[in-house]
Copies of this chain bind each other. A is one copy, B any other.
Amino acid sequence: MSKLEANKKQKRDSLLDAAFSLFTSKGINKTSISDIVQKSGVAKGTFYLYFKDKYDIRNMLIAKKAGQLFGKADEALMKTNISNIYDEVIFIIDNIINQLCLDKSLLLFISKNLSWGIFKTTLINTSEDKDLYLYNIYYHLINREDVTFKEPEIMLFMIIELVSSTCYSAILYSEPVDIEELKPYLFDTIKNIMKRHTI
């Protein structure tokens, strides 16, 4: 990478970091381009050399952060001996939930913005960033020798929506119960969804 390109990447990363910090602390609506460039230490005009607008940089961030989240969970999974697919899924979800418990602002940011649409888009856009292990995880899930799922996409969709929406409330507001209290019921439900989709 040339010096100039490295410089550009550094500017871009700086803007991404500043935006993430502000989005998670103040919220997207209350964050202005001015805030981002000021925190980032670049000029206002520079922002527009890298991103179209606030929502463009937000989408980049969601993809990046969601990818990191799954990536870490996958890494952790690799270090275990779990081979049972049901346990693998539970492990991944549990790991992600734990990550989000430790970084509630990330949860706030992800939950408010991560929809199935973006999730799928991120799955497809695997080329852009090497951090995105999502694609691998998904295919790992689908193309197994030991288990075949009926309508695996619907299954995964229901699981992801159930987890993301219940965790949002449980982790951030302990409503209706604390996340640790919710987990047994949640994991039980997930296992059941999977079992009922197993042929």
Binding stretch for chain B, among A7-15, A72-80, A126-134, A149-157: A149-157
Binding stretch for chain B, among A35-43, A101-109, A172-180: A172-180
Interface residues on chain A, number (Cβ under 8 Å) = 32
User: Do residues A158 and B169 form an inter-chain contact, with CB atoms below 8 A?
Assistant: no
A98 at the interface (CB under 8 A from B): no
User: Do residues B165 and A161 form an inter-chain contact, with CB atoms below 8 A?
Assistant: yes
A182 to chain B, nearest CB (A): 7
Q: Which residue of B lies closest to A112 (CB)?
A: B112
Binding stretch for chain B, among A16-24, A86-94, A114-122: A114-122
Quick one: copies of this chain in the complex? 4
User: Do residues A185 and B117 form an inter-chain contact, with CB atoms below 8 A?
Assistant: no
Among B162, B175, B196, the residue within 8 A (CB) of A165 is B162
A189 at the interface (CB under 8 A from B): yes
User: Do residues B162 and A185 form an inter-chain contact, with CB atoms below 8 A?
Assistant: no
- Bound-complex Cα distance A117 to B169 (A): 8
- Bound-complex Cα distance A169 to B115 (A): 8
Q: Which residue of B lies closest to A182 (CB)?
A: B154
